Structure 1
């Protein structure tokens, strides 16, 4: 399995499209901190993005898109001098799925957000910078444009289930944006995400994700990566921040945690499925990584799920 695909699947990644924005003349909108990871793409025209706590502004041109990986308030504006107004009331007056700011429609943005399940903060979001900006002119941005064009076709074509298809396409766009982020600046990524930029480390990560229950050794992983044992160990530690077998332990625990959150499988079955020969072996590793015993983790997750289901939407 591909590690990026694995982690996004583990986190139950979902795309949610929002109301589009048409704007013209002089305008400025201030948005509250979003839930999840916010994204916007400029389909026509240009504007400025300002994010609280981030040096800016960031010029956005036609074809650009960005991810806001932190829950930070932000401003979209035509120019630095215009005083922003709250975006909420503007979007509340939207008609036909389009909100309007200023006068005219020489600027048009589509957007939405990505939501994630448990563990997203540590496994993905903390590995990203606050803003991931993908300029239209970057060498690898064509795949992002393809996904955005496909979303446009779904939303304007009137086909059955178009909204659902478009939201799945948004997740495809997220995968491409993360790949572009890695290709553009490998050193900017941290942890397992940074490891995908090193061919040898990526080969080892792929092997670990493909067979997490296998009793791997560093020597076996080095053969998969076509480097020496010492070279793999050093490069893995530099890129990921931990050794290959330590990473394997943490990934096995993440897989076990998902099973504990989502079902009633016995701990012994969970242990065997992720490569541990006994409940006690899994419990020791689980508590070291998660800071809590597996049984307590399952009960806590069940309580959190119950509170979420009982709360009003």
Structure 2
């Protein structure tokens, strides 16, 4: 993880990258799907997808309609969208075309390409991002249901580059192309999130993600993520942010939705739960790593948040993992 340092009058503070940490903690993976080529008058309706659906228009233009989103979204060449919630959606050449269901269209795909309509006016590449059990609360709830990133802007140059590389890998199929395209898709995801944070209007992101885009809150967030084991005070975090204690407390609550020390407590519990799920270390060592002075202090905080002690949580995770059912949500 890359970190930077900020020197203040009393303390040198290491700043972390919360977005990188959260994406790592929730176990982000990507999977490319069959491509789609469409032409003439056409429309395809999709069931609510698993994971976070993404599509990019490689050629042409179309309309995207998402369930419960009031207006259709016009997609042009090089545009991308992320569907962050499991909602049904339709891609179409224009309004009013009767859609066909996507499943039979993709089931009939040949050579990795599904076709609908007549001709090749529009070409899509797409897939999904899968996450671990905590993704909904940690990341997806902070995002709008659909994120549209126009591809023609200078800021989207890296996204266009990633799409071009994915196209080349899918076309030529060199060695390890599947692995390369999945990593390129993750690069694209990170840049899409960066671009969205840069241009999001008030209310389009919330929680810690909104804090990353705030010049006052972001330094304090990054400091807490860099040293969750430190006994932070609001005054120390305010010094990192170069504002007064009262200004940071009010701004943090307004932007993130909770006070800085409440946020820190929640992040410590997330880190502890992650280590317990992975089986890393004793409860006592985990307590020290995440900022609790003793095993009992972590146990009390962990049970207050999750309803289970760290030891019980670890046993439940182990039992469910052995049965192949999956992990318990906190």
- Identify whether the pair has TM-score above 0.5, normalized to the shorter chain: yes
Q: Deviations over 1:145-201 (max 9, x none)?
A: 122122223323432211111111111111111111111115221000000011121
Q: Deviations over 1:18-73 (max 9, x none)?
A: 11100101111111110000000000001111111111221111111100011111
Q: Deviations over 1:265-313 (max 9, x none)?
A: 2211111111111111011211222233222322332233334369xxx
Pairing partner for 2:249 from 233, 245, 254: 233
Pairing partner for 1:174 from 166, 186, 189: 189
Q: Which residue of 2 aligns with 1:128?
A: 143
Report the Cα offset of residue 79 of structure 1: 1.8
Query: How far apart in 2 are the matches of 1:56 and 1:221?
Result: 42
Which range moves more in the overlay, 293-302 or 38-47? Answer: 293-302
Q: Which residue of 1 aligns with 2:286?
A: 270
Mapped pair 1:79 → 2:79: no
Where does 1:205-216 land on structure 2 (aligned, <5 Å)? Answer: 205-216=221-232
Question: So what's the TM-score if we normalise by structure 2?
Answer: 0.90
Structure 2 alignment gaps of length 5 or more: 1-15
Pairing partner for 1:118 from 115, 133, 142: 133
Where does 1:37-186 land on structure 2 (aligned, <5 Å)? Answer: 37-138=52-153, 140-186=155-201
Give RMSD over aligned pairs.
Answer: 1.5
Number of positions where the alignment pairs a residue of Structure 1 with one of Structure 2: 310
Report the Cα offset of residue 134 of structure 1: 0.7
Secondary structure of the structure 2 residue equivalent to 1:199: coil
Structure 1 alignment gaps of length 5 or more: none
Question: So what's the TM-score if we normalise by structure 1?
Answer: 0.95
**Structure 1 pair 307/38, CA: closer, same or farther in 2 (3 Å)?**
farther
Where does 1:275-290 land on structure 2 (aligned, <5 Å)? Answer: 275-290=291-306
Secondary structure of the structure 2 residue equivalent to 1:82: coil
Runs of 4+ in structure 1 off by over 4 angstroms are: none
Pairing partner for 1:251 from 267, 286, 300: 267
Query: How far apart in 1 are the matches of 2:142 and 2:130?
Result: 16
Which range moves more in the overlay, 11-20 or 294-303? Answer: 294-303
**Structure 1 pair 186/244, CA: closer, same or farther in 2 (3 Å)?**
farther
Secondary structure of the structure 1 residue equivalent to 2:116: strand
Pairing partner for 1:219 from 235, 242, 246: 235
Mapped pair 1:5 → 2:27: no
